[in-house]
Amino acid sequence: GDSVTQMEGPVTLSEEAFLTINCTYTATGYPSLFWYVQYPGEGLQLLLKATKADDKGSNKGFEATYRKETTSFHLEKGSVQVSDSAVYFCALSERTDKLIFGTGTRLQVFP
């Protein structure tokens, strides 16, 4: 069945460092891909999405490109801030909109 694999955390960075969180997927068709973020004490929020190959989703300085050839959707940010500390989830959905999530990656940014 469909699945999502993302790098284990925690990822610990200093402020203004470059961030990459790896995400790869397995799917039978052509899914839509998502990054959700969960800030401490808050619910899941959509960060960005891409619905077809080579699409780039972007929001709040974060970017991810849908790479069909490598079945990947890696999350990147050029300069992280303390306020980016959160848990990041990669997810996919196919025909029924059912979201299949990865296990999440905790990001900790220190000043």
Q: Is residue 22 a contact residue for other proteins (CB under 8 A)?
A: no
Q: Are 102 and 89 in contact (CB under 8 A)?
A: yes
Strands 23-26 and 75-77: unpaired
The smaller minimum CB distance to other proteins, of residues 17 and 99, is found at 99
Cα–Cα distance measured from residue 91 to residue 31, given in angstroms and rounded to the nearest whole number: 10
Q: Is residue 97 a contact residue for other proteins (CB under 8 A)?
A: yes
Which position among 7, 63, 85, 101 is part of the footprint of other proteins (CB under 8 A)?
101
Q: Is residue 83 a contact residue for other proteins (CB under 8 A)?
A: no
Which position among 29, 40, 43, 111 is part of the footprint of other proteins (CB under 8 A)?
43
Which residues neighbour 63 within 8 Å (Cβ) at sequence distance 6 or greater? 48, 56, 57, 75, 76, 77
Stretch that binds other proteins, among 10-18, 54-62, 76-84, 95-103 (CB under 8 A): 95-103
Q: Is residue 40 a contact residue for other proteins (CB under 8 A)?
A: no
Q: Is residue 102 a contact residue for other proteins (CB under 8 A)?
A: yes
Q: Is residue 26 a contact residue for other proteins (CB under 8 A)?
A: no
> Which among 85, 100, 105, 81 is positioned nearest to 10, based on CA atoms?
105
